[in-house]
Amino acid sequence: MSLSDKRILLIISGGIAAYKSLDLIRRLKERGAGVRVIMTKAAQHFVTPLSAGAIAGERAYTDLFDATTEFDIGHIRLARETDLVVIAPATADLMAKMAGGHADDLASTVLLATDKPILIAPAMNPQMWGHRATKRNLAQLLADGVATVGPNAGEMAEADEAGIGRMAEPIEIAAAIESLLAGRNAAPKALAGQHILVTSGPTHEAIDPVRYIANRSSGKQGHAIARAAAAAGATVTLVSGPVKLPDPPGIKVIHVESARAMLAAVEAGLPADAAIFAAAVADWRVAEMAAQKTKKTAAGPPTLAFVENPDILATVAKRKAQRPGLVIGFAAETERVIENARAKLVKKGCDWIVANDVSRETGVMGGDRNTVHLVTAQGVEAWPSQSKEEVARALVARIAETLKAPAALLR
């Protein structure tokens, strides 16, 4: 998409990632956008107004009480004469101001005065991103209609710091801007008005306070499905086990550890129009978790007694009340993929099974590509090898098409 004739107001707040905002300005200009820049006081410790203004092609605005600036353009005009307000980087402090409706500098005043869409690209230390206050503020901003891109996982500027908190790359932010502006003039989306529930990742079943039973699921496929459903206009609830992935922007994410916690979150998330169970849930847990770390003894390894975990897919598929119109399970197999998937379809009582071969040599577990079969009561479809994002988009398109059909045709 070209951004020709689009006006972008870029707010740069204080953080080491501010240097990336200069590249973002360049990428937006290359796409034909007009860019105005506001810099907070803290941002000016990392990049200069002269640098930002030189790349943008006009002065960078910094002071709410600059008499010359206010006479020439004013913060109200800055707030209104734009198609989109972008904050990159968006610090924890500025997000808190936005959530609380503060207006004590030029950036926060413009944000309170604008009636235009807002996109934030958060950037901060992982501990700050995971703090309850930041989560509350983000939830409020999402409820207010603010769009987000990132943050990403990776190394931080500080030594020996890593996790989720890196600002999205300028090319990612530019793509998000294009998508957001294109969506404002687009036709109604395929899943508009639908609630889609997705599970993703592994579960961890505690043996003692240190050890647990788990599997190799990365959550990449489930998270991709959640993003694709949201892009198709759905309201999405994502119930995620422990993964090293950022929460998809604009999606309600519920983090859980165990199978029992995942089932409780799923049931709390109903009703839904469709439920996609992509999580690789542990089949068993120890009958009783040890209160302390289990130590080596002369008696040898401890004997662990196991019990079955609840079957989340079957529980939801066989509900009498609040059963989603379309219930989709996943079958991660290492042998007899189609045969096992067909048996699972009948046993669980679900509508579809997405089956794949997760043998070590396939690289599917933790990888970025997938080769799946869609198994239904009508037959088996073999899909080509493709990225997990492409699998997600194809599955969501099929879901949207099916949900439009009469209820009698769903199963």
Residues involved in catalysis: 215
Sheet with 34-39, strands from edge to edge, namely: 34-39, 7-12, 84-90, 118-122, 147-148
User: Pseudo-torsion of CA 353, 198, 155, 126, nearest 10°?
Assistant: -160
Asked whether the beta carbons of 313 and 349 are under 8 A apart, the reply is no
| Beta bridge partners of residue 163, listed in sequence order | 154
Q: Residue count of the chain, please give it.
A: 411
Asked whether the beta carbons of 134 and 100 are under 8 A apart, the reply is no
Residue 213 backbone phi and psi in degrees, to 5: -95, 135
Cα distance between residue 246 and residue 249, in whole Å? 9
One-letter amino acid for residue 402 of the chain: T
Taking alpha carbons only, the member of 88, 238, 110 closest to residue 167 is: 88
Cα distance between residue 55 and residue 37, in whole Å? 10
Instruction: Give 376's contacts (C-beta < 8 A, 6+ positions apart).
Output: 345, 351, 352, 353
Return the residue matching tokens 């950037």: 123
Instruction: Give 130's contacts (C-beta < 8 A, 6+ positions apart).
Output: 163, 164
What is the 8-class DSSP label of residue 244? Answer: S
Instruction: Give 350's contacts (C-beta < 8 A, 6+ positions apart).
Output: 277, 313, 314, 317, 327, 328, 329
**Cβ atoms within 10 A of the Cβ of 60, count?**
23
Q: What is the 3-state composition of the chain as percent helix, strand, coil, each rounded to the nearest 5?
A: 35, 25, 40
Asked whether the beta carbons of 221 and 278 are under 8 A apart, the reply is yes
Beta strand 7-12 with 84-90 is parallel
| Residue 301 to residues 79, 306, 333, Cα–Cα distance (Å) | 67, 15, 30
Cα distance between residue 96 and residue 86, in whole Å? 16
